Chains A and B, each alone.
Chain A
Amino acid sequence: FGDPASNLGLEDIIRKALMGNLEERQD
């Protein structure tokens, strides 16, 4: 329980939202 942001799934949401943009860039 050391990382509230990870517990919340926040990191996953952030990574996916950032990655979406990377994919657009590659296109």
Chain B
Amino acid sequence: RRRHLVCPMNTSPHVDPQKSGHEVWEEFSHSFTPAVREVVEFAKKIPGFRDLSQPDQVSLLKAGTFEVLVVRFASLFDMKDRTVTFLGGKKYSVDTLRAMGASDLLNSMVDFSEKLTNLGLSEEEMSLFTAVVLVSADRSGIENVNSVEALQETLIRALRSLITKNHPNESAIFTKLLLKLPDLRSLNNMHSEQLLAFKVH
């Protein structure tokens, strides 16, 4: 039976049919590990993140890494051509990936990436928004909710101030950005369901 890995964190969606499930999993893990490490390095640079307890740092990263990656890799999704670029550098059309078994998650990710890109944020704004995505006090397993909440509020204030300064005539941008947070949660939930299904099979 042909199998495909439609996550762009792979080098290619095509899976060698000779490889065992374990080997496929190992290869997949090898592909996304550097990206996850980059997320951890990014988190370490968020002022105040390293002051949180280590279990809370782990909980935030465990819960938020996917969402951070969605924001960071939004450019892999080209909504004009309706293509997705895999880490191996090759582009695949959304229709091709759908035929390979990609679920509604793919369409949702393309839609999200389009809306985020259309906001035209600078690198600095995107970076601060990513920090807000990661530092969310309502993630499961947080021990010291007050500390995470305090850091989250500081980051949100900084983001609002930066957006207001850079886009004085576009006050809706900040609101639109905050509304992206529940969208990311929803994508994260869909992705978790996919992962469970993938592991089970």
Contact = CB atoms under 8 A, between A and B. Distances in A.
B62 A10 contact: yes
Given A4-B195, A4-B196, A8-B195, A17 B62 contact: no
B196 A14 contact: no
Indicate the size class of the contact surface on chain A: 10 to 19
B136 interface: no
Contact of A10 (B41, B57, B65, B199): B65
A26 interface: no
Question: Which of B36, B50, B62, B196 counts the most chain A CB atoms within 10 A?
Answer: B62
28 contacts: A1-B196, A1-B199, A1-B200, A4-B191, A4-B192, A4-B199, A5-B65, A7-B195, A8-B29, A8-B32, A8-B195, A9-B29, A10-B36, A10-B65, A11-B58, A13-B33, A13-B36, A14-B61, A17-B37, A17-B40, A17-B41, A18-B44, A18-B54, A18-B57, A18-B61, A21-B44, A21-B50, A22-B54
B105 interface: no
Interface of B: 29, 32-33, 36-37, 40-41, 44, 50, 54, 57-58, 61-63, 65, 191-192, 195-196, 199-200
Given A5-B63, A9-B29, A14 B195 contact: no
Contacts of B50: 21
Nearest to B193: A4
B196 A15 contact: no
Contacts of A15: 58
Given A7-B199, A13-B36, 5 more contacts: A1-B199, A1-B200, A10-B36, A14-B61, A17-B36
A6 B58 CA distance: 11
